[in-house]
Structure 1
Amino acid sequence: MENSEKFFSEIRNGNAAKVAQMLQNQPTLINAKDGRGSTPLILATYYNQKEVAETLLSHGAGIDEKDGSGNTALMGVCFKGYVEIAKLLIDAGANVNVTNVMGATCLIYAVTFNHLEIAELLLANNADISVKDARGSTALDHAKTQDFKPLITLLEANS
């Protein structure tokens, strides 16, 4: 347990070399989860640690693994607005249409938090705009509720 805490600390701090060294010594750390159910990859991407995320992916991190709320690494970066990491994850094969326990998708998160560039990236990679969350709302519904005009235009053009 102590080793996994140190591992997660190195991930949060962006120490890719130390993360790689720890994985070499204890490969099972790639499957560790923190107290919230976050995997190493989810944690790295949440903290915008691109180099660490690349290291974890090269060591076989599960790209679509979910945290305790059913969110993947890609969902987290769509919520946070980290475009470069979103590109990295999509290029590595992340599922852009995965849903969490509330039915939210990557696109719904990008729209809800007004991240136009990420929404464009997701749509360019076949994000499904018809998915409804647990409240019955699509990404377009979220854009309209918050009056995010550029996102409304984008989503209507892709309907």
Structure 2
Amino acid sequence: MAESFPLHEACRDGKIDRVRELLQEQPELCLTKDLDSRYPIHWACSFQHEAIVDLLLHQMKKVDLDDLLDDSGWSALHIACSVGNLELVTKLMNHTIKPDVNLQTSQGVTGLHLACSKQHFSVARYLVDNGASTRIKDSRSQLPLHRAASVGSIPLVKLLCDQKSPVNVKDIQGWTPLFHALAEGQGDVAVLLVLEYNAEYKDIQDVSGKYPIDVVPDDKVKEYFLKNVQ
């Protein structure tokens, strides 16, 4: 007989009355993992059911949210950052036991990495304002700036660089954020990194000996970049 996880299902489906009923009957359910290794608050955050998150947090006043991780090391805060819901991020950060804003998943990823990947600027700014480090590397040795450059977000790149993110740090393939910007055709971001934040482009190579200009897939982007940085 398959295991039943009624609270997890109610949190996923947004059934707040059912959540309230289950929490009254069996409050310990909020601290159980389902077959996906997720806790109820993971599902409530994934589907952005803010009122249900409020109920769960009230029930878990003495619980450290950093202890409620799925098998990939994701906390509720990681999920809220990934979906880009600033209201949820704020609720979680204001929990009675404040979560670690720099907590890393099993892949070394922080909430700031996730917010940058999805271009959630307001979330990223909130995280930085609340102590998120711009200097933490994930398992691929990438900073949040590598991700912001890759997706071509000028506001995020400025935010991170102005918060002292290193600009010329290489990831495991020897790519700096500039490499990622150029490889993705993000000419404006590439020019910004060089002109405003002193990204190196002439004397830096990746592990295969390529220079940043060598990874540009588009001649127009290459021409635009060289015209504006030389």
Q: TM over 0.5: same fold?
A: yes
State the AA in 1 paired with 2:110. T
Q: Match of 2:24? A: 24
Aligned with 1:113 (options 102, 118, 122):
118
Q: Check whether the contact 1:57–1:63 (CA below 8 A) recurs between aligned residues.
A: no
Compare 119-128 and 24-33 and name the one that shifted more: 24-33
Distance between the aligned counterparts of 1:4 and 1:89, measured in 2? 27
TM-score (norm 2): 0.65
| Root mean square deviation of aligned Cα | 1.6
TM-fit CA distance, 1:16: 2.3
Compare 16-25 and 94-103 and name the one that shifted more: 16-25
Q: Check whether the contact 1:4–1:29 (CA below 8 A) recurs between aligned residues.
A: no
Aligned with 1:77 (options 55, 80, 84):
80
Q: Match of 1:36? A: 36
TM-fit CA distance, 1:15: 2.2
Compare 45-54 and 136-145 and name the one that shifted more: 136-145
User: In percent, how many aligned pairs have the same letter?
Assistant: 29
Matched length = 159
Q: Which gives a bigger RCO, structure 1 or 2 (Cα 8 Å, sep 6+)?
A: 1
Q: C-alpha offsets along residues 108-148 of structure 1, whole Å, 9 cap, x if unaligned?
A: 00001110000001001000111000000100121122221
Q: Match of 1:56? A: 56
TM-fit CA distance, 1:83: 1.3
TM-fit CA distance, 1:77: 1.2
Unmatched runs of 5 consecutive residues or more in structure 1 = none
Distance between the aligned counterparts of 2:85 and 2:20, measured in 1? 23
Q: C-alpha offsets along residues 13-59 of structure 1, whole Å, 9 cap, x if unaligned?
A: 22223212211111220111121111111111111011111101111
Q: Check whether the contact 1:4–1:32 (CA below 8 A) recurs between aligned residues.
A: no
Q: Match of 2:169? A: none
Instruction: Detail structure 1 runs of 4+ shifted over 6 Å in the superposition.
Output: none
State the AA in 2 paired with 1:49. H
Q: Go from structure 1 to structure 2 and tell me whether the alpha carbon gap of 1:17 and 1:62 turns closer, same or farther (over 3 Å shift).
A: farther
2:133 matches 1:131: no
TM-fit CA distance, 1:62: 4.4
Higher gyration radius (CA): 2
Distance between the aligned counterparts of 2:109 and 2:132, measured in 1? 12
Q: Check whether the contact 2:113–2:147 (CA below 8 A) recurs between aligned residues.
A: yes
Unmatched runs of 5 consecutive residues or more in structure 2 = 165-230
